[in-house]
Structure 1
């Protein structure tokens, strides 16, 4: 058992557990090594899932505990307190709380933030500063609940929040185990890699540069990239995506390139991105996640933290191109404790359904005369129309958290109930009869592939064209690499060097001999065997892949394989899409069989 993903898989074989753990280098001087890893059955994906949170393993390391398995169910909603002192393992206790009252009792944003502050200020009885893992109302009423945690500074919580967002692990923790929050900390000291000279030696040997220089280069995108005069996932992605940016619930994939480019220039480059650069990048409003790290990837404006995918799904995908309504929508989704990507994808779908008149407002729980979204680029005013769409999205967001509302059951269930026309606009990946996942926000077919864990980066998401079988093989290879990163408790923002060096550091420092590639290939194969991906249920995903093939063919009309796929999609899109999906699946299976270990 090398890391927290191994532990989660092992405990799933034993019973019904939510597992939390850190990597073998947690607490060390290695940058990015303090990611906290959550694993177990996902209530939204309906299969084993891995979700990670930046920086939270640094304080976790002080408990002296590597892995924690939560089983059974508390009699009442409770906070799990793990308080260490005097270099000993923590005293563990459950404290019952009126969680719904705590979600309401706040002069600020309420929800998850209110619960977190109550736990941080009133329930900690250990030494030093703790870290709190908290849930919001979405964890109680939906399968889309995340686990959030804010970094503290000088004994106070900050606006720098980190998330184990994907997979509904907050819903899992609260609904299955009746644990609404965890607070932990301690002063236990183990034999971490704290000798910077030793660490530098590994980097010098491999890269002929010291650790700091290598990591600075590897994390350029997340700090500040002079190529784009911006930084962070928001700044660099919106600077570079250009006409390949997705908007208006993916309707943009059917538009000509010049129209998409004009939309990006007018609404994003000259407004949404410009606001971000002026308000965040120029004044260097940035922070770390909770561990010493040169990436300073947390980009801020006041209490709002700006990341690409939340501000994409609850931004352009919802027809919002202005920071103010995007901030309000994202912050409210965070207070409710939603997986931002999951709920953003659902909101974008509902916005299109209302725009097209496919669903009555009253059916969703809105007033019968509710205004429709502004959901086309022609004449779109980035301030006025974004504000209009933002208010409507906020109303829908509250309905998605209401336990009696159909929308709280998630997009796949709601799409079935609302009929074929609505379902064909819904963009989600299916697993088994009920599992679903909003894909990551890149117009790359690997993001829509048939793998055992989706909604993360366990795929090849480059935008270059690959025959789908070859794409499947590359996605299987990426799954092994990303699994290794998660099992190491490493942040993937450091993957530029960590995929090459992490195993060597561990082998040398701990004087171990382990076949890391073989070990993680076996882990990937087991997950592959357990997976139950279903073919796309939505015509919109077929449109997304068709549009991608068309774009690639326009760029490379002389490629015979690409020309054949373009012809097949133009002739019979549904048949071609099914063949494309089957080829990806075959490639994944072939590569899984070829992997060593």
Structure 2
């Protein structure tokens, strides 16, 4: 059992090979493995991001299937078409089905001649079977247009259930798939749904995605893979001794395992103190006026005005959700693994989380919950990463608001209502309609600017528009890049940020767009902030590498070192291990020409400066007020220097 099994599938040749890696050699999970393969075997940094050598590697941690709860996430690693360097994204519950394939990880290389469907499953004796199947491009497009009354990723899921129903039911397979956004944009997510095997249907609330970084776009454009069905009947759990776990938890926390789980995950299930639960329910109460809205333009408002906007959010956006989900129906589900933390809050059949609903809600000037619900359902069906999509839409609305483009020049039929000073909640529906026009345009590519965003991303686009509309930029005294919010990597790489008003999401770190940083709304000296951000990044690395759900991090982080030591017999210092692997991610970024770059746009810089003033860190607020550019460059450089020195050891 002291090994980590990889199956490398070449979809260009319809072949596969099995290899075993040893834990004692430092391969503790899928990210360790992927870094090693991308750096040393595939050398994917040398090639185009859609090269067949840009392997999509996905795998589980070593602690699945036993007595441990929350250990069943599946982690994907690939070179991102957005950041141009390695990216890590994970999806909940999929490891619970994947583990019975008998594999720990899969690496997909090569490129199928036709859109490819892989069926990966094992027999009870753990013998592995792989079916290489295909679907024509025209049939795939027809399925996306509609199958059994569904569209997009939902339609493809039901197509798979119909076509492979016998396999799925017998071998307990879970689908992993893409949507149209992966075909037509660099912003395609990887989706997965837990399946009810008795009636071959999608289980409520089980939808999840490895969305950030464009992994779905890589899966399709580099490998021509549109769907993977994975599971099986091979049972090889590392251990199932619940008594051992209970004793360990009691020693660490002086509490039972069940009690510590419920205590540390209260936010995600239900907080009786707040009268709500889940990320959507809690964040709007917890962060209130610090919630990013109107494309981060709330940073220019007084706290009084921000609180007024928060009143709109609570009345029109949060309350309808909370009334139904937290008080009346209580439609709460899990990601697909047996877990007492029913974190999936479902409203009229749709899972509701903070990030996607804020992205297509208040962040783009949509404050009516039902309007955002329609947008999220539509964007999900197309298979978009909704966080990135929200940034694109907000930027477009801001560009039109500031007069850099007319609505018709970027595919809009009207002006968005994007001024927080004049906005009223009944403007929500207009912005929802215009957001749909943007989404349609990104897929249809019937506007040259939207086509450029779809093909090359936001950072490339703002640079080209600043050149194409130089006279307007000079006339308006604001540039296209001034209104965009992203972290820059290399010449054109970038990553849009999660919705927190914090320097940590914009700091010079090597994997962002996730929680691999100090993401709390705070401010401090660059060295202190860099230390706290790197510490968090390393812990998040270990969480994703082990397959632990980060909602369980409150107890899981303390347990991981003991699990690796006692169950895997590995004498490895996990923090030193994570630091070494993160330094290899930096090395990959250097080789790929995708190191962090200094902040480019005015709004990004203002996000940093305003939070320093908001938190009342007088030293830095004063520096920024005296000379903003000098102060920001000094802070960024010192943060970056600390990270580089620490990684170089």
TM-score by length of 1: 0.94
Matched, 1:101 2:142: yes
Matched, 1:4 2:30: yes
Long gaps (5+) in structure 2 = 1-26, 43-52, 467-472, 474-478, 590-594
Distance 1:359 1:109, change over 3 A: farther
SS of structure 2 residue aligned to 1:50: strand
SS of structure 1 residue aligned to 2:494: strand
1:411 is aligned to 458
Query: Which sits farther off after the overlay, 204-213 or 118-127?
Result: 118-127
CA contact (8 A) 1:472 1:587 kept: yes
State the Cα distance separating 1:89 from its structure 2 match. Answer: 3.1
SS of structure 1 residue aligned to 2:222: helix
1:535 is aligned to 598
2:348 is aligned to 302
State the Cα distance separating 1:215 from its structure 2 match. Answer: 0.9
Q: Give the number of equivalent residue pairs.
A: 581
1:278 is aligned to 323
2:539 is aligned to 481
SS of structure 2 residue aligned to 1:83: strand
SS of structure 1 residue aligned to 2:480: helix
Q: Deviations over 1:434-469 (max 9, x none)?
A: 211111111011111011111011101122321122
Matched, 1:259 2:305: yes
Query: Which sits farther off after the overlay, 459-468 or 105-114?
Result: 105-114
Distance 1:109 1:571, change over 3 A: farther
Q: How far apart, in 1, do the equivalents of 2:373 and 2:150 lie? A: 12
Q: Following TM superposition, where does structure 1 have runs of at least 4 consecutive aligned residues deviating by more than 4 angstroms?
A: none
From 127, 130, 151, the counterpart of 1:89 = 127
Query: Which sits farther off after the overlay, 82-91 or 211-220?
Result: 82-91
Q: How far apart, in 1, do the equivalents of 2:127 and 2:390 lie? A: 40
Long gaps (5+) in structure 1 = 554-561
Matched, 1:224 2:270: yes
SS of structure 1 residue aligned to 2:499: coil
Q: How far apart, in 1, do the equivalents of 2:584 and 2:400 lie? A: 42
Q: Deviations over 1:218-259 (max 9, x none)?
A: 111100112221110111101111111111111100111111
State the Cα distance separating 1:85 from its structure 2 match. Answer: 2.6
Q: How far apart, in 2, do the equivalents of 1:507 and 1:6 lie? A: 17
CA contact (8 A) 2:180 2:443 kept: yes
Q: Deviations over 1:369-420 (max 9, x none)?
A: x2211112345332x2111111101111111223462231321122123225
Mapping for residues 402-551 of structure 1, pairs under 5 Å: 402-403=444-445, 405-409=451-455, 410-419=457-466, 421-531=479-589, 532-551=595-614
CA contact (8 A) 2:204 2:333 kept: no
From 186, 194, 219, the counterpart of 1:143 = 186
Q: How far apart, in 2, do the equivalents of 1:536 and 1:530 lie? A: 21
SS of structure 1 residue aligned to 2:193: strand
State the Cα distance separating 1:109 from its structure 2 match. Answer: 4.5
Matched, 1:72 2:118: no
Q: How far apart, in 1, do the equivalents of 2:224 and 2:577 lie? A: 34
CA contact (8 A) 1:120 1:130 kept: no
Matched, 1:563 2:622: no
CA contact (8 A) 2:35 2:584 kept: no
CA contact (8 A) 1:147 1:169 kept: yes
CA contact (8 A) 1:18 1:71 kept: yes
State the Cα distance separating 1:263 from its structure 2 match. Answer: 1.2
State the Cα distance separating 1:488 from its structure 2 match. Answer: 0.4
CA contact (8 A) 2:63 2:237 kept: no
TM-score by length of 2: 0.87
Q: Deviations over 1:546-586 (max 9, x none)?
A: 11111122xxxxxxxx3232122112222222222112212
From 634, 639, 646, the counterpart of 1:579 = 634
Q: How far apart, in 2, do the equivalents of 1:269 and 1:587 lie? A: 40
Q: How far apart, in 2, do the equivalents of 1:338 and 1:289 lie? A: 19
What is the root-mean-square deviation of aligned Cα atoms in Å?
1.6
